[in-house]
Structure 1
């Protein structure tokens, strides 16, 4: 067990990346609006996430390159390479910059739920001090440029976040029979937008790039492939359990007019006292900080691969990319700017990108020239085809919803 704990890292970062403020809010709204009935959608999202992330991890360890590096190398025709890299660059870098404001704002909401709102007037603008604080924490962690330090920070934050949400779900004393019934799909058309939101916040395109790069940083030999798979499954299942705990908490409370996790925490006070409110706030803070670190980090890895840089975590070029994404997020969050057009573009681009990246990932992990004997088995191909079909459906619905 001691040796296994030492190998924790990339999978934990992946689960931390998808459990951000968006996931917390989506799970809360799903619980409030549909009760326990969408638990099956979270189970589906965990399954889909494991299938795709396993392929990304295997690609990273065997090829010792990130996903964007492999795309650049395997697409031989300049036109196709340019189109693919342009789509990836725009969706991940611009998209993550747009969503970064939401990640930081989520962490700020957690702080405000406990300490209240703190504003600083600068000329004619009111700046949120908590946004700058969260941004400074994320900047300091990323600036260190040490992968082992990054791992330890994320493991600690994920454990805090998991404990906070799971304990909160236990405190509300949910109905076990209703929970079990929630894993059986019923009335699919009723909560289709909720299903899209839940799966879409778990199966995240940038996580495929982040994971492939992280495992190549951590493990340099093929013998660690089994360790990576075990660690990945445990981490994503843990992330799924946390998401389910949030949904269960919201469903068990039996509340109306709840728009986000902070509203849920406030609404729980009369029934459960300060205990549930504090745990919800701490969980939201941890979720916001982890996502505000992973989004800029993933963007930097994508640019590194697209541009063909031979850059490390400590290189100036690598730091410049994540710093741009992070600073833009802090700016938008602190001034309460809502980059609606950027977010809409990111949603459309990600809706297109997820099935495209899933298809490319499926193609490249079947190539003996890349993975040799570690290419996909028949079972992995069947599972991959099912997940890609889901990704195409969700991508289409996501684009349709935005437009």
Structure 2
């Protein structure tokens, strides 16, 4: 099985730490890399707009968004810690090849859109601080690709230290901004009480929530937690989950502080002075000095913006690597991967700024958030399904209460993001010179995405229902076994597939060997995960098949037969001969049936391949 972020996988040891504090410290780090996505430049515009228009009224929206993000990120960390798979790898195991290609494509678009917001944010910060034109600022952002390459080669701890330093710069910048702005504390506390003054406030609130939870962060967190090496015992996993929850709580609360500080700064400066229309980052920077009376206010604002853009783009590029390797099982040189990711974001930004000028940066930021909104459900829904699955999570699945809360949060986020996307498409239709083109391109695409989302939501529930209704249990098959002995055979292999066809195969085997022979029941798991990971797979079907094979053994052993079992993973025509040739069998007995796993037996393809690869007799029973 390919490890997630293989170059830093389990590179940080948490074992042999003598004190509790040192133990916690060893786990701290991954959530800080994730938290910068919650304070990236894409969030700044909605926070500034909310504070300037409605003062402190929408602080509660930020708090609610933070609590939602904390739950979802803890689920992502749980998936990585327990299963040792990131979200992309888990999706690849679960869904078909074509669905995974679509999910990969959507994830890549979301990462590119996120990178676009971060590139623009950094370029705006460079422009505000040094007066460098926006086009040149965008080009300068290419250089941070090499910073990331340098850091990853130095180890994940060095990268975490770099990101934490940038987060500290952002945090300290806004502490001083708060001191300069002198916000009204009682109004901030009042803003924690939920209220929506009007429809415009609702739209801003939707924008804040929509911009808060980033889909690439869910992929990222499930991978980064695997950089810690700890005891893979139930106690060790439980401890890792606890310490990563502490890590997430601290890091995401810092992100909440930054977002709240931006909104409060806008409320204490622009709203207080009757400037209700400030929504652009450049405008906010321009008005800070005259309103607060210090030149340090706009300087710190620009420094924080650059730090936010730099830190966010580092983690966004890492997420791109995780998504490509997880969905496609495809690795390329890290520096090539990072340059490709950066160019995907930079080229559209350069073209649009060159053609339309620097005034469109705000619209580009909004567009990036809409694209992120489209992809969000395709990351959240599978994540909730995975961590709710008892077989996948090996007993560390989330509780029923957590499941209900998670689905409520997913429903809120997906619904609000769907409204945001609907409003944007409606606006495009109203303002477009050629709406027919949109009806034949954008609208069908949106319906296609909606259909795919419904498929991802309901497929696991349907699969579980089928699992209950399919007659899998050997006790339910009501098999009748014969002990008639016609020939002396000592070691017999029998291929079973948990259908009524097994009755004929087993009875013929028992007629050959009787009560004295040794019988080995062979079953091959053919899921996508089994084909990819072999013996290391932990999907639902594998767990069920293991259980059923043991039920066969127990039932037949009680009847006096000497039974062994062998579970294989992959293509039957390849794996069965390997099992046979590595054992000491006298004959292989197989039944014909229509089960998906071995349906090709009906057409002779598996049989033809098998008989050329094994050196013992093969008995096919109808």
TM-score (ref. length: structure 1): 0.88
Q: Tell me which of 120, 133, 144 is aligned to 2:140.
A: 133
The 3 A distance-change label for structure 1 pair 277 and 217 is same
Q: 1:198 aligned to 2:214?
A: no
Aligned alpha-carbon RMSD (Å): 2.5
Contact 2:145/2:339 (<8 A) preserved: no
Which moves more between the two structures, 282-291 or 370-379?
A: 370-379
The 3 A distance-change label for structure 1 pair 307 and 6 is same
Which moves more between the two structures, 44-53 or 331-340?
A: 331-340
Q: 1:273 aligned to 2:289?
A: no
Once the two structures are TM-superposed, the CA of residue 239 in structure 1 deviates from its matched residue by 0.3
Q: Which residue of 1 aligns with 2:572?
A: none
The 3 A distance-change label for structure 1 pair 161 and 349 is closer
Once the two structures are TM-superposed, the CA of residue 20 in structure 1 deviates from its matched residue by 0.8
Alpha-carbon distance in 2 for matches of 1:41, 1:300: 32
Once the two structures are TM-superposed, the CA of residue 235 in structure 1 deviates from its matched residue by 0.5
Instruction: State the Cα deviation string for residues 193-213 of structure 1 (Å, max 9, x = none).
Output: 211111112111111111101
Q: Which residue of 1 aligns with 2:503?
A: none
Q: Which residue of 2 aligns with 1:288?
A: 309
Contact 2:42/2:365 (<8 A) preserved: no
Alpha-carbon distance in 1 for matches of 2:35, 2:52: 23
Q: 1:402 aligned to 2:424?
A: yes
Instruction: State the Cα deviation string for residues 84-104 of structure 1 (Å, max 9, x = none).
Output: x23322222123223423311
Contact 1:38/1:183 (<8 A) preserved: yes
Q: Which residue of 2 aligns with 1:123?
A: none
Q: Which aligned pairs between 1:320-339 and structure 2 lie closer than 5 A?
A: 320-334=336-350, 336=353
Q: Which residue of 2 aligns with 1:207?
A: 217
The 3 A distance-change label for structure 1 pair 6 and 179 is same
Q: Tell me which of 244, 250, 255 is aligned to 1:239.
A: 255
Alpha-carbon distance in 2 for matches of 1:36, 1:111: 29
List gaps (5 residues or longer) in structure 2: 1-20, 232-236, 355-359, 426-622
Q: Which residue of 2 aligns with 1:300?
A: 321
Alpha-carbon distance in 2 for matches of 1:34, 1:376: 38
Which moves more between the two structures, 242-251 or 146-155?
A: 146-155
* 3-state DSSP of counterpart to 2:388: coil
* 3-state DSSP of counterpart to 1:373: coil
Q: Which residue of 1 aligns with 2:107?
A: 92
What is the number of residues matched between the two proteins? 385
Alpha-carbon distance in 2 for matches of 1:88, 1:184: 38
* 3-state DSSP of counterpart to 1:365: helix
Which moves more between the two structures, 4-13 or 347-356?
A: 347-356
The 3 A distance-change label for structure 1 pair 144 and 154 is closer
Q: Which residue of 1 aligns with 2:120?
A: 105
**Highest CA radius of gyration, 1 or 2?**
2
Instruction: State the Cα deviation string for residues 7-26 of structure 1 (Å, max 9, x = none).
Output: 32110011112211111121
Instruction: State the Cα deviation string for residues 344-372 of structure 1 (Å, max 9, x = none).
Output: 88656543432333222111111122112
> Of Structure 1 and Structure 2, which has the larger fraction of its residues in helix?
1
